[in-house]
A = this chain, B = another copy of it.
Amino acid sequence: MTERLLPETLDFNRPFPALSRRLRLGVVGGGRISATQATAARMTDRWEVVAGALSSDPERAKARGAEWFMDPDRCYASFIEMAQVEATRPDGVDAVMITTPNNLHFPAAKAFLEAGIDVICDKPLTNEVDEATALIDLTAQTGRVFGVGYVMSCFPMIRQAREIVAEGRIGNINQIHVEFLQDWMTPDDAADAPHVKWRLDPKISGPTSCVGDIGTHAAHLASFVSGLGMTDLRAEFHVCGAPKPLEDTVFMFTRFQNDVPGTLMATRLAPGNRGGLRLRIYGSEGGLEWDLENAEQLKFYRFGEADRVISRGHGHGVSTVTERLVRTGRGFSEGFIEAWANLYTEFAMAVAARRDEVALPDDWLSFPKVAEGAAGVQFIAASVRSNEKGGEWVAI
């Protein structure tokens, strides 16, 4: 390959390097989250969005593509066709973002991997454990980069939290609590909205609704920051609001490696909560607390000392590793789109390194990968099994 994307020499302790050109991104699925991710990708200036399968209706696919200033030739009505055509274009997409309803994640991801195109796929990775395993295998076989949309792990203060745990500054972890509370499904007719309906249809959403949509974010975050895999859980599903075919609320007890106990809760019927994703990890020497609704700050406690609050920015408790994901100064806020931009920045590094055939240190890029996606699918499946057994403990 004559083109070189990364600089000849890389210093892994410095900010992420510039690439020699923008990478080309394709989009499969045209919903709201694809717009958010595309915004984030553009924001990095490491990606340009050039092709899409934004609708299965050819007319609509073209119309939506035009809103994104896509070449009409690259507005596909089928992701299969898109994979095939883009794979052969000299200016074909370097990677594809998959944000379809859940049931299409697997076939879409498979099609692009098989076409040799790197993938970033929304969570839950798939609706079936088998499919997730198949994607792990296919990723290994093809040697392609596979990112998964556990974007919460890309907030700088989450990275800082993980680093604090890894350095032993809260001692041995003794419990982990995580919850994700929202309120948008409170009105009885909330589930009737078109963009909501599929989330309650098992054929599309998979075996869960709330667990697979937001509970899995909570579970991922708990493991990501603690460094401990979740090994077992007991779960009870509830429909707290108007009747619906899938759960809108879930409560869990959880167990992590080293027999660390925890709890997990998710609901969409908690008025006053919107981005109520909260992580609390307690250890023998200290604790950490983080809340998505106050994502710029990390509470850090050392038993016996004054409470600490670390604010996203440069220095003042923020490490140089975390600073790589910092754009604006302390007090000049970043938000959710910037977290996505962090994911797309790290993903871009991985894509570039694959193309350049450059080996990277294992710990350089922490964006969520296919194995984490598959762990999420197993978590969801375990919650279903446990709930069916009346909330028995099940291994994940």
Q: How far is the CB of A302 from chain B (nearest CB, A)?
A: 7
Interface: A308 (CB within 8 A): yes
Among the 9-residue stretches A108-116, A174-182, A365-373, the one with 4 or more Cβ atoms under 8 Å from chain B is A174-182
Q: In the complex where A45-B39, A308-B308, A335-B333 touch, is A261 in contact with B274 (Cβ < 8 A)?
A: no
Interface centre among A21, A43, A265, A280 (most CB of B within 10 A): A43
Task: Tell me if A313 counts as interface (CB < 8 A to partner B).
Answer: yes
Do A332 and B275 touch (CB < 8 A)? Answer: yes
Could you mark each residue 254-293 of chain A with 1 if its beta carbon is under 8 Å from any beta carbon of chain B, else 0?
0000000101010101111111100010111111010011
Contact of A303 among B175, B183, B307 (CB under 8 A): B183
Flag if A240 contacts B174 (CB, 8 Å): yes
Query: In the assembly, how many copies of this chain are there?
Result: 4
A198 located at the interface, meaning its Cβ lies under 8 Å from any Cβ of chain B in the complex: no
Which residues of the partner chain B approach A317 to less than 8 Å between Cβ atoms? 305-307
Stretch of A50-58, A80-88, A223-231, A323-331 with 4 or more beta carbons under 8 angstroms from chain B: A323-331
> In the complex, A296→B295 CA distance in Å?
11
- Determine which residue in A236, A263, A300, A333 has the highest number of CB atoms from chain B within 10 A of its CB, and name it: A333
B45 touches A274 (CB 8 A): no
Contact B330 A336 (CB under 8 A): no
Interface contact B303-A186, CB-CB below 8 Å: yes
A188 nearest CB neighbor, chain B only: B284
Binary flags per residue of A332-363, CB closer than 8 Å to B gives 1, else 0: 11111110000000000000000000000000
Complex contacts, A316 vs chain B, CB 8 Å:
303-307
A197 proximal to B (CB < 8 A):
no
Judging by beta carbons under 8 Å apart, are B236 and A261 in contact? Answer: yes
Q: Across the interface, which residues of B come within 8 angstroms of A276, CB to CB?
A: 331
Asked if A334 meets B331 with Cβ closer than 8 Å, knowing A175-B269, A238-B175, the reply is no
Q: Is the CB of A251 within 8 A of B240?
A: no
Give the CA-CA distance A184 to B78 in the complex, in Å. Answer: 53
B68, B249, B287, B337: the one within 8 Å of A261 (CB): B249
List, sorted by A's number, 16 A–B pairs whose CB atoms are closer than 8 Å: A45-B68, A175-B270, A186-B285, A241-B284, A249-B261, A251-B261, A270-B280, A271-B303, A272-B299, A292-B332, A306-B311, A307-B309, A328-B335, A332-B335, A333-B335, A334-B336
